[in-house]
């Protein structure tokens, strides 16, 4: 018996060795492409292999019996099939289906430049990129101007996008609208934004076709997402001949909450004494600004509050265009207070919530006088067009708002988002203490959009927005659709269509409330190819304007408005960014071609507007030299000349005529900045400091933005920047309390 | 009756032995392959083999660990590989390993994967993947303060960081020394990881 069993055992073992069964086949994905590197096995055995580059596999099974044949690969759904292994070779071809995944799935990028969040593929600019654009002076708007679609406008505030005016671009922080995103300034001087780029971790610059979550911007949206908790507690100090500032950020020990305060004092007295300005400043610009914040981590989200308060005073004199010996004296006092609170929470069960509320108030107190050579106020009652330059204007804008967005994840990674917002705005205007008006608007909107992922390669975003404004007593519905299709590794084609509405401006509503929404329709087609260090992107667009506000002249300085305007804009844009080709060298190039015409305000017919250039280009370069711990940033911006017009009231038929027109010379500007960072890389440094120096318009080109005309049209004066160049030098200190290095050292 | 019980018991132990024997043999055979494999595809195949062993065994973390080690080794050697995709795979085997046992060795694998992701674009990824990588080492040192590989990897990271960023040979040297001294006293169980000593000694020599 013993012998037999031994024999039996040996025979079995021999059979097992001799009759090893091979299993082979091919693995494809649901599109029929071979899948390389997929793991193939008999479940719960050691037997198996991986597929080769053609998707083929072959392996021998060392055991017999019933098994589950399993094919698995990251990013794919596993394939299982029952199989019986006896003595015959087995052939199994498997098809594995790609899983929808947020990392792999295409995201719709048509019309929008995402900046900030470095993990996303569509990232174009980080906060640091924004701060180090040569000549940009750490102003978000200036940095965004180096992207395609934006115009090189220096004499007015705002972003002028694709043939749109500055007011057609709106800014949003954590979802809610910002009413006065720029510091108040005198006419023809332009203005910088109120918010530092370092407040934000993400910036999306949409040049059109943006999401249904946002509205009231005909052309463009700048969507800013504030940072969450700071990395550590820190105190900071800024010292410069212009700015003195300090602040403190405290991060709680459990790293679940933080608070901070900052104060900045800007005084241009010393600077304007050294660098002569064309206007004669009788009140040197002085700004006080303070901000405060707190951020609290909740169970699955965060509550963030940010507030900023600023107060400024300035006054300047410029020669009067209608007379030889008179001057215009312009005084401006501004008070602005902005508050934003937001609560983002993951509610579980695939629900997310985003609630935001805000209150802001802005008061501009303008005192404009006609003065003689001794700076005495002059009254010229026989010349009403001159007398009209003596006035006071007090304007106060208040905006209170709430907005809620809910998101529910559906099947896969598809999602639906919906919500509503309510804005209560008051515009209080007092002209000369005689013409007073108060505009109150209750504005409501409801919106919904859905992200549909058909496969990882095809995604659609379909949304709609319903709005109602009590001041217009009108409602609108704006559909938005966009699609993205992946055409290769890192490459996608996307398209967007959307309808956009915007209320007329308050200055127009003061005169008449018998106005409706202005309207634009966008069509956008984009191709983008992204690798880790390079982005190439091109976009063609067509935008049609309807119901633009048109001025209906009654006298030379009095008019009403109607929705009789119209227009279009079309063009092609290119963007290329490369951080790879040259070591430590980073550059981007933008080019925009624009063809646009519009009839609006006092334009007598459809004309190429005076805030648009046919060709615009920017080259932004940055290089950091590690051995001297210094970065150098050089930016060159170019735009072809812009048209300018003198529209004169012809006295009859409520019409304006073109009395004169021309084209400015081309715009060239080179901006330079450098930053010396001695503490770079010292991870445990208590003190981190940066020396920043910058100059705009290095080459000193004579920049002409346009022309102003006298009342009779006989005198024409160029609009120039207040000084050829703007210089800045400053040192920024930060004392941090960071414990990570201690933790490592203690373990040594 | 007693005999039967004894036989059953004997059979039982034999089965267990056979089982673990099969495991040990397979592990040994495949561990030996670390010395012979060269191409990325070979390393991926080896990783897949270890993963199959892990999936079949269900209670052993070492196969998953070695699957991760094979993939990260390929990650160091192959400069053209998609490091993010590789790291995703590494993380999936580490997660499987940690479902069985959480330890410092698995964290060294996670550290290497994150470091490789960081090195794709150190300037912009330092903040995310660099922190993630050093976080694994710190966590590992809390669990197992005398694990030489943690110090070896930390020293490698300091060694590879430019001096201006707080790295360099002089900063790395004391950490390599600590790693080498810990390697000398290390007494790994059979099949347990024991790599790194030669590399640490060679790097320490470079720091002299």
Query: Structural domain boundaries of chain B?
Result: 37-134, 146-208
User: Of the candidates B51, B138, B178, which has its C-beta nearest A748's C-beta?
Assistant: B178
Which of A4-13, A14-23, B134-143, B180-189 is predicted least confidently? Answer: A4-13
What are the E-state strand segments in A34-146? 39-42, 48-50, 56-61, 65-72, 79-85, 90-91, 94-96, 112-115
Tokens coding A426: 């008051």
pLDDT tens digits, A237-282: 999 999 999 999 999 988 899 999 999 999 999 999 999 999 999 9
Task: Determine contact, residues A29/A97, Cβ cutoff 8 Å.
Answer: yes
Residues 6+ apart with CB under 8 A from A390: A368, A369, A370, A377, A378, A379
Do β-strands A200-206 and A112-115 pair in parallel, antiparallel, or remain unpaired? antiparallel
For A630, the closest chain B residue by CA position comes to: B164
- Residue A490's pLDDT is 81
| Residues forming beta bridges with residue A259, ordered by sequence position | A250, A294
Question: What are the two backbone dihedrals, phi and then psi, of residue B40, each rounded to the nearest 5 degrees?
Answer: -60, -40
- Using an 8 Å CB-CB cutoff, list residues of chain A that contact chain B: 37, 39, 41, 43-50, 52-53, 74-75, 103, 118-119, 126, 532-533, 579, 626-627, 629, 680-684, 740, 743-744, 747-748
User: Of the candidates A45, A46, A118, which has its C-beta nearest B124's C-beta?
Assistant: A118
CA distance, residue B182 to nearest chain A CA (Å)? 12
Average pLDDT of the residues of chain A: 88
Residue B58 has pLDDT above 70, yes or no: yes
- Residue A7's pLDDT is 46
Tokens coding A140: 């978000």
Which of A422-436, A731-745, B60-74 is predicted least confidently? Answer: A731-745
pLDDT tens digits, A151-197: 999 999 999 999 999 999 999 999 999 999 999 998 888 888 999 88
From chain A, pick out residues whose CB is under 8 angstroms from the CB of B145.
Answer: 747
Residues above pLDDT 70, as percent of chain A: 92
From chain A, pick out residues whose CB is under 8 angstroms from the CB of B44.
Answer: 37, 50
From chain B, pick out residues whose CB is under 8 angstroms from the CB of A533.
Answer: 121
- Residue A740's pLDDT is 43
Query: What number of other Cβ atoms are within 10 A of residue A653's Cβ?
Result: 7
Residue A458 has pLDDT above 50, yes or no: yes
CB-CB under 8 Å, B55 with A44: yes
Task: Determine contact, residues A176/A422, Cβ cutoff 8 Å.
Answer: no
DSSP-based three-state secondary structure for A423:
strand
**Cα–Cα distance measured from residue A687 to residue A680, given in angstroms and rounded to the nearest whole number:** 10
Average the pLDDT over A199-207 and give the result.
85
From chain B, pick out residues whose CB is under 8 angstroms from the CB of A57.
Answer: none
For A50, the closest chain B residue by CA position comes to: B45
**Cα–Cα distance measured from residue B165 to residue B172, given in angstroms and rounded to the nearest whole number:** 13
CA distance, residue B189 to nearest chain A CA (Å)? 23
Tokens coding B53: 């062993």
- Residue A748's pLDDT is 33
Residue A439 has pLDDT above 90, yes or no: yes
pLDDT tens digits, A537-553: 999 999 999 999 999 88
Residue B51 has pLDDT above 90, yes or no: yes
CB-CB under 8 Å, A680 with B55: no
Residue A564 has pLDDT above 90, yes or no: yes
pLDDT tens digits, A723-739: 999 999 999 988 875 54
For B127, the closest chain A residue by CA position comes to: A118
- Residue A741's pLDDT is 41
Residue B182 has pLDDT above 90, yes or no: yes
Residues 6+ apart with CB under 8 A from A520: A164, A168, A218, A219, A499, A500, A502, A543, A544, A545, A546
- Residue B47's pLDDT is 94
User: Of A142, A148, A161, A164, which Cα lies nearest the Cα of A591?
Assistant: A148
Query: What number of other Cβ atoms are within 10 A of residue B102's Cβ?
Result: 12
| Residues forming beta bridges with residue A688, ordered by sequence position | A734
For the CA atoms of B138, B144, B148, B154, the dihedral, rounded to the nearest 10 degrees, stands at 0
**Cα–Cα distance measured from residue B60 to residue B44, given in angstroms and rounded to the nearest whole number:** 20
Suggest the residue from A5, A35, A39, A626 to mutate for an interface test with chain B (most B CBs closer than 10 A): A39
Residue A304 has pLDDT above 90, yes or no: yes
Instruction: Write out the DSSP string of A467-502.
Output: EEETTTTEEEEEEEEEEEEEEETTEEEEEEEEEEEE
- pLDDT confidence tier of residue A320, bands split at 50, 70 and 90: very high
Residue A409 has pLDDT above 60, yes or no: yes
Task: Count residue pairs from A and B with Cβ separation < 8 A.
Answer: 78
B181 touches A: beta carbon within 8 Å: no
CB-CB under 8 Å, A627 with B164: yes
pLDDT tens digits, A350-361: 999 999 999 999
Residues 6+ apart with CB under 8 A from A362: A179, A180, A184, A334, A335, A336, A337, A396, A397, A398
Tokens coding A55: 């998707």
Tokens coding A700: 């000193």
Residues 6+ apart with CB under 8 A from A153: A145, A160, A166, A190, A611, A705
**Cα–Cα distance measured from residue A33 to residue A98, given in angstroms and rounded to the nearest whole number:** 11
CB-CB under 8 Å, A118 with B125: yes
* Cα dist from A293 to A230, A235, A248, A338, whole Å: 11, 14, 10, 12
- Residue B92's pLDDT is 93
For B172, the closest chain A residue by CA position comes to: A748
**Cα–Cα distance measured from residue A675 to residue A736, given in angstroms and rounded to the nearest whole number:** 20
**Cα–Cα distance measured from residue A135 to residue A115, given in angstroms and rounded to the nearest whole number:** 19
Residue A10 has pLDDT above 80, yes or no: no
DSSP-based three-state secondary structure for B71:
helix
- Residue A738's pLDDT is 52
User: Of A108, A104, A65, A68, which Cα lies nearest the Cα of A87?
Assistant: A65
Please indicate whether residue A738 or residue A606 has the higher confidence score (pLDDT).
Answer: A606
Task: Determine contact, residues A610/A160, Cβ cutoff 8 Å.
Answer: no
User: Of A106, A624, A664, which Cα lies nearest the Cα of A414?
Assistant: A106
For A586, the closest chain B residue by CA position comes to: B123
**Cα–Cα distance measured from residue A747 to residue B19, given in angstroms and rounded to the nearest whole number:** 41
Average the pLDDT over B6-18 and give the result.
47
Tokens coding A293: 């914040």
From chain B, pick out residues whose CB is under 8 angstroms from the CB of A629.
Answer: 164
**Cα–Cα distance measured from residue A247 to residue A230, given in angstroms and rounded to the nearest whole number:** 14
Which of A580-584, A642-646, B72-76 is predicted least confidently? Answer: A580-584
- Residue A682's pLDDT is 60
For B41, the closest chain A residue by CA position comes to: A37
Which of A82-91, A336-345, A680-689 is predicted least confidently? Answer: A680-689
Task: Determine contact, residues A179/A396, Cβ cutoff 8 Å.
Answer: no
Average the pLDDT over A71-79 and give the result.
88
Residue A269 has what DSSP assignment? H
User: Of the candidates A532, A683, A747, which has its C-beta nearest B166's C-beta?
Assistant: A683
* Cα dist from A713 to A329, A704, A709, whole Å: 22, 19, 6
Tokens coding A572: 């092609």
* Cα dist from A275 to A313, A331, A443, A721, whole Å: 20, 21, 46, 13
CB-CB under 8 Å, B51 with A46: no
User: What would the 3-class secondary structure string for A369-420 be?
Assistant: EEECCCCCECCCCCCHHHHCCCEEEEEEEEEEEEEEEEEEECCCCCEEEEEE
> What order do you get walking across the sheet with A39-42 strand by strand?
A48-50, A39-42, A65-72, A79-85
Query: Which B residues in the span 64-103 are in contact with A, Cβ-Cβ below 8 Å?
Result: 85, 88-89, 92
Query: Which B residues in the span 111-170 are in contact with A, Cβ-Cβ below 8 Å?
Result: 120-121, 123-125, 127-128, 134, 137-138, 141, 145, 154, 161-162, 164-167
User: Of the candidates B56, B161, B174, which has its C-beta nearest A45's C-beta?
Assistant: B56
Question: What are the two backbone dihedrals, phi and then psi, of residue A648, each rounded to the nearest 5 degrees?
Answer: -115, 145
Residue A626 has pLDDT above 90, yes or no: no
Question: What are the two backbone dihedrals, phi and then psi, of residue B195, each rounded to the nearest 5 degrees?
Answer: -75, 160
- Residue A744's pLDDT is 34
Please indicate whether residue A684 or residue A635 has the higher confidence score (pLDDT).
Answer: A635
Question: What are the two backbone dihedrals, phi and then psi, of residue A602, each rounded to the nearest 5 degrees?
Answer: -95, 15
Average the pLDDT over A579-601 and give the result.
91
Residue B1 has pLDDT above 70, yes or no: no
Average the pLDDT over B23-48 and give the result.
91
From chain B, pick out residues whose CB is under 8 angstroms from the CB of A46.
Answer: 22, 26, 49, 52-53, 56
Tokens coding A382: 């026989």
Tokens coding A611: 């805030």
Please indicate whether residue B187 or residue A216 has the higher confidence score (pLDDT).
Answer: A216
- Residue A747's pLDDT is 33
pLDDT tens digits, B98-132: 999 999 999 999 999 999 998 887 776 777 788 88
Query: Which B residues in the span 35-54 are in contact with A, Cβ-Cβ below 8 Å?
Result: 41, 44-45, 48-49, 51-53
Residue A640 has what DSSP assignment? P
| Domains defined along chain A, listed by start | 19-96 (2.60.40.10), 112-746 (2.40.170.20)
From chain A, pick out residues whose CB is under 8 angstroms from the CB of B174.
Answer: 748
For A533, the closest chain B residue by CA position comes to: B121
Tell me the Cα Rg of chain A. Answer: 32
Task: Determine contact, residues A63/A55, Cβ cutoff 8 Å.
Answer: no
- Residue B2's pLDDT is 54
- Residue B16's pLDDT is 46
| Residues forming beta bridges with residue A481, ordered by sequence position | A462, A497
CB-CB under 8 Å, A47 with B128: no
- pLDDT confidence tier of residue A122, bands split at 50, 70 and 90: very low
Question: What are the two backbone dihedrals, phi and then psi, of residue B12, each rounded to the nearest 5 degrees?
Answer: -60, -50
């Amino acid at each position: 018996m013993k012998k037999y069993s031994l024999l039996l055992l040996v025979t079995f073992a021999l059979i097992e060795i001799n009759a090893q069964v091979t299993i082979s086949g091919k693995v494809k994905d649901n599109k029929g492409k071979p899948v390389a590197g997929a793991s193939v096995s008999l479940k719960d055995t050691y037997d198996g292999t991986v597929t080769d580059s053609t998707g083929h596999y072959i392996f021998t099974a060392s055991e017999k019996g019933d098994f589950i044949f399993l094919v698995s690969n990251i990013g794919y759904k596993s394939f299982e099939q029952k199989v019986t292994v006896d003595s015959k070779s087995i052939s199994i071809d498997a098809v594995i289906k790609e899983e929808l995944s947020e990392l792999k799935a295409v995201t719709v990028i048509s019309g929008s430049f995402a900046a900030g969040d470095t993990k996303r593929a569509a990232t174009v600019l980080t906060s640091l990129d924004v701060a180090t654009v040569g000549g940009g002076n750490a102003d978000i708007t200036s940095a965004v101007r180096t992207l395609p679609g934006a115009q090189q406008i220096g004499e007015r505030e705002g972003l002028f996008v694709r043939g749109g005016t500055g007011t057609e671009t709106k800014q949003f922080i954590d979802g809610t609208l910002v009413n006065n995103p720029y510091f108040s300034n005198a006419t023809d001087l332009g203005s910088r934004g109120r918010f530092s780029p370092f407040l934000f971790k993400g910036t999306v610059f949409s040049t059109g076709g943006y999401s249904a979550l946002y509205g009231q911007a005909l052309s463009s949206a700048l969507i800013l997402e504030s940072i969450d908790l700071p990395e550590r507690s820190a105190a900071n100090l800024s010292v410069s001949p212009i700015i003195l500032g300090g602040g403190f950020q405290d991060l709680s020990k459990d790293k679940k909450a933080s608070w901070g305060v900052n104060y900045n004092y800007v005084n241009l007295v010393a600077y304007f004494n050294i660098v002569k300005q064309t206007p004669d400043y009788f009140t040197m610009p002085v700004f006080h600004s303070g901000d405060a914040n707190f951020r609290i981590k909740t169970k699955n989200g965060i509550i963030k509050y940010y507030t900023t308060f600023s107060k400024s005073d300035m006054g300047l004199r410029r020669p009067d265009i209608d007379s030889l010996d008179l001057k215009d004296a312009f005084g401006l006092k501004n008070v602005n207070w902005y508050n934003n609170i937001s609560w983002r929470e993951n509610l579980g069960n695939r629900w997310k919530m985003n609630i935001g509320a805000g209150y802001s108030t802005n008061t501009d107190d303008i005192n404009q006088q006609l003065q003689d050579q001794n700076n005495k106020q002059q009254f010229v009652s026989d010349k009403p067009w001159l007398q009209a330059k003596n006035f006071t204007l007090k304007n106060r804008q208040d905006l209170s708002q709430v907005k809620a967005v809910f998101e529910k994840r559906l099947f896969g990674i598809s999602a639906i988002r919906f919500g509503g917002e309510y804005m209560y705005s008051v515009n209080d205007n007092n002209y000369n203490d005689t013409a007073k008006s108060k505009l109150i608007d209750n504005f409501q909107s409801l919106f919904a959009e859905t992200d549909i992922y058909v496969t990882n390669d095809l995604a659609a975003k379909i949304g709609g927005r319903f709005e109602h404004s009590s001041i217009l007593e009108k409602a609108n519905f704006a559909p938005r659709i966009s699609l993205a299709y992946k055409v290769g590794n890192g490459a996608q084609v996307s398209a967007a269509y959307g309808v956009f509405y915007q209320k007329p401006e308050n200055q127009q509503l003061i005169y008449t409330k018998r106005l409706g929404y202005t309207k634009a329709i966008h069509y956008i087609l984009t191709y983008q190819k992204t690798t880790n260090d390079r982005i190439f992107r091109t976009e063609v667009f067509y935008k049609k304007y309807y119901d633009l506000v048109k001025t209906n002249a009654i006298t030379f300085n009095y008019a009403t408005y109607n929705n009789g305007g119209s227009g279009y804009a079309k063009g092609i844009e290119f963007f290329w960014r490369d951080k790879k080709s040259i070591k430590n060298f980073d550059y981007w190039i933008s080019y925009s071609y624009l063809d646009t015409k519009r009839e609006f305000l006092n334009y007598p017919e459809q004309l190429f507007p005076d805030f648009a250039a046919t060709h615009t280009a920017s080259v932004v370069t940055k290089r950091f030299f590690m051995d001297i711990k210094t970065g150098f940033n050089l930016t060159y911006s170019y735009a072809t000349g812009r048209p300018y017009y003198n529209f004169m009231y012809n006295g009859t038929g409520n019409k304006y005529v073109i009395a004169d027109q021309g084209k400015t010379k081309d715009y060239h500007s080179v901006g330079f900045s450098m930053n010396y960072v001695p503490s770079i890389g010292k991870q445990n440094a208590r003190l981190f400091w940066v020396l920043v120096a910058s100059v705009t318009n290095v080459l000193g080109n004579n920049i002409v933005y346009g022309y102003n005309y006298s009342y009779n049209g006989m005198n024409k004066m160029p609009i120039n920047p207040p000084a050829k160049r703007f210089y800045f030098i400053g040192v920024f200190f930060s004392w941090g309390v960071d414990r990570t290095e201690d933790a490592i050292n203690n373990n040594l | 009756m007693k005999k039967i019980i004894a036989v059953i018991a004997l059979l039982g132990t034999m089965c267990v032995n056979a089982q673990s024997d099969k495991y040990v043999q397979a592990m040994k055979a495949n561990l030996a392959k670390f010395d012979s494999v060269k191409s990325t595809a070979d390393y991926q195949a080896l990783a897949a083999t270890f993963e199959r062993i892990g999936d079949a065994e269900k209670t052993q973390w070492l196969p998953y660990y070695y699957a991760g080690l094979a993939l990260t080794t390929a990650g160091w050697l192959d400069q053209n590989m998609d490091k993010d995709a590789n790291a995703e795979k590494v993380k999936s085997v580490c997660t499987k390993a940690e479902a069985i046992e959480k330890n410092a060795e698995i964290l060294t694998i996670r550290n290497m994967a994150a470091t490789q992701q960081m090195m794709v674009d150190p300037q912009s990824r330092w903040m995310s993947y660099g922190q993630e990588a050093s976080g694994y080492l710190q966590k590992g040192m809390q669990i197992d303060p005398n694990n030489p590989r943690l110090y070896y990897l930390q020293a490698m990271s300091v060694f590879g960081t430019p001096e201006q960023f707080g790295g360099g040979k002089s900063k790395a040297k004391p950490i390599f020394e600590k790693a080498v001294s810990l390697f000398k006293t290390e007494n790994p169980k059979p099949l347990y990881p024991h790599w790194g000593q030669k590399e640490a000694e060679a790097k320490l020599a470079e720091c002299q």
